[in-house]
Structure 1
Amino acid sequence: MAAYTIENEKLSVTIDAHGAELSNIYDKENDRELIWQADPAFWNRHAPVLFPNVGKYYGGHFTYNGKAYPMGQHGFARDTEFEQIAAGEDFVTYRLCADEESKKKYPFDFVLEITHRLENNRLSVEWNVKNVDDKEMYFTIGGHPAFNVNILPDTDFEDYSLVFKEGIETLSYILIDAENGTALTDKTYKLELTNSKYALKKDMFDKDALIFDNGQIEWVGLALPNGKPYIALESKNFPNFGIWSKPGAPYVCLEPWCGRCDNKGFHGEISEKPGINTLKAGEVFKKSYDIIIY
């Protein structure tokens, strides 16, 4: 598996060609690894990109022009080899292009380029989706980075907190149907914060991810037992956000999404899916988020 490392005085960051997946953020100043190291006992991934779909389609397929196309959770980009097309001391860009095999399951001609760029204590993750087809294409795309939580000796998962932008007191979220992995939109829950923080609880992900719609989260961090953030994710103008961990695992995923899983019971064409991204022939979709290390 080819990988490329970018680094500066503060950080060393490694990105794999397989899935263009971020696999390491080593904090030199504090001598600690911040990315989950894919222990298969809990979850065998680090920070996969979710494309051409975030989450699951209802019934395990999407419909385009009346035809059903089976597609697994989170799409196929995370399990595909990307081509490295540019690199320097502080950045690397990987590219994935549609081919005859991909078009059997996702009938659009696309180019996906992912750049990881390091500047001081900030790692930018940039997505460029190009429609090189002669028709409109439809997709969702998301990040899924998993950050280590029990990073200090003799501490427990519940000693750490999620921390949000100052002034936020309440967030609303929905849950995922355990049977089919799609969103249950008929009931909304409240995440009540104290001083813009929420102490992690071991049972908070017993019903899978918490889904925050309507652009509620533009900045969220993980805080040490003393309340100070050690890592944060900034994702401005992202409509959806997921927070997830495998119950009992010492990591938390902070997931900025442009679109998400189907609502439970959705049977429409992919063009009618709530939150779908639409690209006309020749258009380019650009989005980025930043990981900040403190």
Structure 2
Amino acid sequence: MNYQITNGKLKVTVDSLGAELVSVEKDGTEYLWNGDAVYWPERSPLLFPFVGRFTEGKYLLDGREYEMDIHGFARKMQFETVGKGQAWIAMELRDTPETLRMYPYHFSLQVTYRLERDEIKTEYRVQNQSDRVMYFGIGGHPGFRVPLEEGLEFRDYFLEFSHVCRPDRVGHTSACFVSGENREFSLKDGRYLPLRHDMFDDDAIVLQNMARCVTLKSEKGTRSVRVSYPDMRYLGLWHAPKTEAPYLCIEPWMSLPSRQGIVEDFACKNDLIRLKPGGIFETGWNVSLT
């Protein structure tokens, strides 16, 4: 089921399946990718309780092996609406017999979207309702139309980080597993990344130690998208490899995929969040449109 929220400037549609943003409009212009399956059938999936791929589609916990699909299960689950106003909506996912087979925790995952002026605030709240430490990752995967205006092309756009930085590119294998071989990722003048389709031929670019705000824009246009992620550790940049896909995903993450050839033990994976019994973890990211 789809739900719509608006504040007069922005109009946003959220699907109860995955609590996924499926439309983001300002002044009658759609900013979000449309989910065309030719390139990528999703639009803005929520990644939980893992970000990225598992070696062999498996992980270990307390000596037992579990199976889980890429990016976790939340994006394929129905969320319940637990609160709604004209310009906000809160949705919740709780554990079910199905999730317990993949992930042996009792939990609550709440996602709230709030519209404030030209900004969409995305808030995550995770509560561990089990009697042991809960390990998880979480992140966003929003895709934005590129170009945002008629008459422009993908190559007319660039990413502008909020300040000069020297990020590292997280090393990945050809199958998009973590390799452990990080290297500095060069930005033009320490802030700018011109876009080209072939930069994603080897799949995602994942950064760490980057500025915590980036803007998708073109000097030839007037519309832009600013994504801020003050507490998120990693930033993924992606579109379907070896295509001329007309979108860009700007993905704030809290954790990383598995290593190549290693079925990860969740208790030993250092980038996962560790949440004590009864504990609450909150984070989020924001999108501003011009």
Considering only aligned residues, what root-mean-square deviation do their CA atoms show, in Å? 1.6
CA distance, structure 2, for counterparts of residue 171 and residue 278 of structure 1:
25
**Counterpart AA for 1:259:** S
CA distance, structure 1, for counterparts of residue 223 and residue 30 of structure 2:
15
Match among 100, 115, 135 for residue 112 of structure 2: 115
Alignment match, 2:282: 286
Deviation at 1:227, TM superposition (A): 7.4
| 8 Å CA contact retained: 2:168, 2:182 | no
1:248 and 2:247 correspond: no
Match among 32, 43, 46 for residue 46 of structure 1: 43
| 8 Å CA contact retained: 1:221, 1:229 | no
1:201 and 2:199 correspond: no
**SS in structure 2 at match of 1:238:** coil
Unaligned ranges ≥5, structure 1: none
Unaligned ranges ≥5, structure 2: none
Deviation at 1:176, TM superposition (A): 2.9
1:264 and 2:260 correspond: yes
Alignment match, 2:75: 78
| 8 Å CA contact retained: 1:60, 1:72 | yes
Matches within 5 A, 1:177-216: 177-179=173-175, 181-194=176-189, 196-214=191-209, 216=210
Matches within 5 A, 1:20-59: 20-28=19-27, 31-59=28-56
**SS in structure 2 at match of 1:191:** coil
User: Normalized against structure 2, the TM-score is what?
Assistant: 0.95
Deviation at 1:237, TM superposition (A): 2.0
CA distance, structure 2, for counterparts of residue 237 and residue 77 of structure 1:
21
**Counterpart AA for 2:78:** E
| 8 Å CA contact retained: 1:147, 1:252 | yes
Aligned CA distance change for structure 1 residues 107 and 130 (closer, same or farther; 3 Å): same
CA distance, structure 2, for counterparts of residue 173 and residue 63 of structure 1:
27
| 8 Å CA contact retained: 2:152, 2:220 | no
| 8 Å CA contact retained: 2:169, 2:183 | yes
CA distance, structure 1, for counterparts of residue 190 and residue 174 of structure 2:
32
Deviation at 1:184, TM superposition (A): 2.0
